[in-house]
Amino acid sequence: AVPRGIRRVALVLTAIAIVVWPLGDAGLHSLERGLYIGAMISSVMACVSLLARAARHSPALGTLSDYLLQQGYRRRYVLLALAGQVLPCMLGFAGVHLLLGVAQRGAHASEAQRLAMFTVVSRSFSSATLWSPTFGNMVILLALYPQLRWGQVLPVGLALAASIIALSLFVDRRLLRAAGPDAPPPPAPPGVLRASAAFLLAMVV
C-alpha cells in the first residue's frame, strides 16, 4: 500500500547511501543505529495509525466531539487548544482531522473567528511535538541521546506548549473579546466525564 512516489524516493536514497558510504568514516555501527531509529519511528507510527482506526469506532469520541460543539466560542477555543495537545499526540493526524471537524461545524459570527479556530488547533498540534513521545522528532532525540530521558524533556516541552497556547490567546484576543461572553454552558450530557476518562485511559495504555 506504499505510494509509488515514496517507494521511488526510498530507493533513490538507498542507492545514494550505498555510493557515499565508502567515502566516509562510518562503520557498521552507524548502519545499525540508523536501522534502530528507523524501526522505532516505524513502530510508533504504526501504533498511532492503529489507534486512530480504532478510535473512529469509539462512541466515547463521538460524545466528546458533540460536547465540544455545544460550548460557546471562547470556551470552545480554549478547549480545542487543549485538546489539540492531547488528541493529535495519541491519534496523529486523525486527531487533528477530528478537531478541525469540530472547529468547522461550530457556529461562528465571522470568517475570521472560524479561521482563528482552525489556527489554534494547528498551533497546538505543532507544539505537541515538543513533548509527545509519539512524534518522530522526539523518538529521534531519545534514540540519538541514550543518556536523555523523556521525563527530563517533558517539563520543558509542556512549558513551551503552554506558552504557545497562551500566545495564541494573546494573538486572538481581539476576536475573543469581540465574540462577547459565552452563555452559561449547557449541562454536560450523561456519561461525558466517564466517556472522557475511559477514552483517555485507553489511549494512554
- At 69, list the grid cell: 460543539
28, 30, 37, 107, 175 from 24: Cα distances, Å: 12, 11, 20, 59, 55
57 or 7: which leads in pLDDT: 7
pLDDT given at position 197: 80
**Residue 185: which pLDDT band, with cuts at 50, 70 and 90?**
low
pLDDT given at position 84: 85
Angle at 49 between CA 45 and CA 52, to 5 degrees: 140
Per residue in 70-98, pLDDT (tens digit) is 788 888 888 888 888 888 777 777 777 77
Per residue in 34-66, pLDDT (tens digit) is 888 888 888 887 887 777 777 777 777 777 777
Percentage of the chain surpassing pLDDT 70?
A: 94
- The answer to whether residue 148 scores a pLDDT higher than 80 is yes
Per residue in 103-130, pLDDT (tens digit) is 877 666 678 888 888 888 888 888 888 8
pLDDT given at position 190: 67
pLDDT (mean) for 132-155 = 84
pLDDT given at position 192: 74
Query: What number of residues does the chain have?
Result: 205
Integer Cα distance of 115 and 86 in angstroms: 21
Q: Distance between the two ends of the chain, CA-based, in angstroms?
A: 28
pLDDT given at position 105: 76
52, 95, 135 from 139: Cα distances, Å: 19, 19, 6
- The answer to whether residue 12 scores a pLDDT higher than 90 is yes
pLDDT given at position 180: 74
pLDDT given at position 107: 67
pLDDT given at position 188: 67
pLDDT given at position 16: 92
The mean pLDDT of the chain is 81
2 or 121: which leads in pLDDT: 121
